[in-house]
Structure 1
Amino acid sequence: MFYLTEVEDHIRVEPKLFGLPTLEAVDMQLRETYLDYYDKELGQVISVIEVLEVGGGVIIPGDGAAYYKTSFKLLVWKPEMHEIVYGAIAEIASFGAFINMGIMRGMIHISQTMEDYVSFSKTSTLTGKATKRSLKEGDLCLARIVAISHKGEEPKIGLTMRQPGLGKMEWIKEDQMKKEKEAKKALAIEAKTTKKSGGKK
């Protein structure tokens, strides 16, 4: 989920930026420091939106940089359990698929790709035995986050597409059209039955 969050930190401004106005130097250092930064509590930093306040600078003996107590606003994305995400299949493997969510990648185990028995083919596609539905690199999908592990520098995100309204976009459209067709058929049968009974149910 996307958040706008305010953060307070002591920003280490390198000597190469000393010739700039303090606010500009801090802003540049923030963008460099927080580029692709991930924190378990904060999330993945997408952008430094605004520098809100910069305090006085402090130089620590033995360190040529200056430290400024700074409050600033960040745009972050933090994966949340049960959140629905949209992305493209980036890679197909024998054990499942990796989906690129733009900011991070998640993994869908082969058993969670669709409501079917799924097999991996030599053409790097996952195919359902009964439905004949296939999943390949580049397919656009909706998935739900079902697991988040923070072992390592980046979180490992587990996803599922075995729920109504999830999966490859074409499948979702097909299912929706099927439901609409079934609903129209049911209404037609009901109207026909009502007509035969003289308008009485």
Structure 2
Amino acid sequence: MYLVSKIEDTVRVPPHRFEEPLREVAAEILNENYMGKIDKKMGLMVTVKEIEDIGVGRVIMGDGAAYHDVVFTALFYKPELHEIVVGEVIEVTDFGAFVRIGPMDGLVHVSQVTDDYINYDAKRGALLGKESKKSLEEGNHVRARIVALSLKERSSETKIGLTMRQPGLGRLEWIQEEKDKAKKKRKS
């Protein structure tokens, strides 16, 4: 889920940037400091949306920079447990598929791909259903549910577990095939 939040902070503008537009410099510095950081309540900060207010700069003795109090809005991405997400498979391994969901990645373990027995085809870099012949490869788009979530302050330590073993979940083509089958069944 994406959230927009209003934040107050102080920005240190170094002297060599005094000639540049203050709002642009403040937004750039805030993005450098916070973008990609995770707050347990808000989630991952994606970007500074807008600088709403910038106070008058203060200079502190021994430092030539100007310190400005700022109020800004920021866009956050916070995955929620049981949330249904759509993403792209970015890597397939023998133990599962990594799926890019917004600015983060989750893992669909092989046991959570389908109800079918799954084999890993190293040549293709694909997960293959033994009976259903369904395949999951890099570049496929999928719908999955978040079933495990551990947000850490560093995004590299964050873990998101996904499942596609529930009705209405899986590779988007699989879902469409199921809809088409159900439609034909209703007609007959």
Is contact 2:121–2:128 with CA below 8 Å preserved after alignment?
yes
What are the within-5 Å matches in structure 2 for residues 75-154 of structure 1? Answer: 75-123=75-123, 124-151=125-152, 153-154=154-155
Amino acid in structure 1 at the alignment position of 2:132: T
**Unmatched tracts of structure 2, length 5 or more:** none
Counterpart CA distance in 2 for 1:78 and 1:170 is 27
Report the counterpart of residue 180 of structure 2 in structure 1. 177
CA deviation profile, 1:106-139 (whole Å, cap 9, x unmatched): 1111100112111212222111122111111111
Residue correspondence of structure 1 range 49-88 to structure 2 within 5 A: 49-88=49-88
More strand by share: 2
How many correspondences in the alignment? 185
TM-score of the two chains, using structure 1 as the length reference: 0.83
- Deviation of 1:98 after TM superposition, in Å, equals 0.3
Deviations 1:136-160 (A, max 9, x none): 1111111111111134611211111
Amino acid at match of 2:47: S
Specify which of 146, 150, 160 is matched with residue 157 of structure 1. Answer: 160
Q: Which amino acid aligns with 2:29?
A: Q
CA displacement at 1:75 relative to structure 2: 1.7
Structure 1: which 5+ residue stretches go unaligned?
Answer: 186-201
State the 4+ residue runs in structure 1 displaced beyond 4 angstroms. none
**Displacement, 1:94?**
1.0
**Cα separation, 1, equivalents of 2:120 and 2:177:** 23
With a CA cutoff of 8 Å and minimum separation of 6, indicate the structure with the bigger relative contact order.
Answer: 2
The structure with more radius of gyration: 1
Write out per-residue CA displacement over residues 15-34 of structure 1, whole angstroms, 9 at most, x where no aligned residue. Answer: 32222354343233223333
1:29-40 matched pairs, under 5 angstroms: 29-40=29-40
Q: Equivalent residue of 2:183, what SS?
A: helix
Q: Matches of 1:137 and 1:129 in 2, distance apart?
A: 19
The whole-number CA distance in structure 1 between the counterparts of 2:83 and 2:16 is: 42
Structure 1 residue 62 displacement after superposition: 4.2
- The residue that corresponds to 1:198 in the other structure is none
**AA in 2 matched with 1:99:** V
* Corresponding position of 1:194: none
AA of the residue aligned to 1:131: S
1:25 is paired with a residue of what secondary structure?
Answer: helix
SS at match of 1:183: helix
| 1:41–1:62 Cα change, 3 Å | farther
Please say if residues 39 and 153 of structure 2, whose CA atoms lie closer than 8 Å, have aligned partners that are also in contact. Answer: no
Q: CA separation in 1, counterparts of 2:171 and 2:127?
A: 12
- Distance, in Å, in 1 between the alignment partners of 2:61 and 2:159 is 40
Q: 1:175-201: CA deviations, max 9, x gaps?
A: 11111122222xxxxxxxxxxxxxxxx
Q: Report the CA distance shift for 1:121/1:22 in structure 2 as closer, same or farther (over 3 A).
A: closer
% identity of equivalent residues: 45
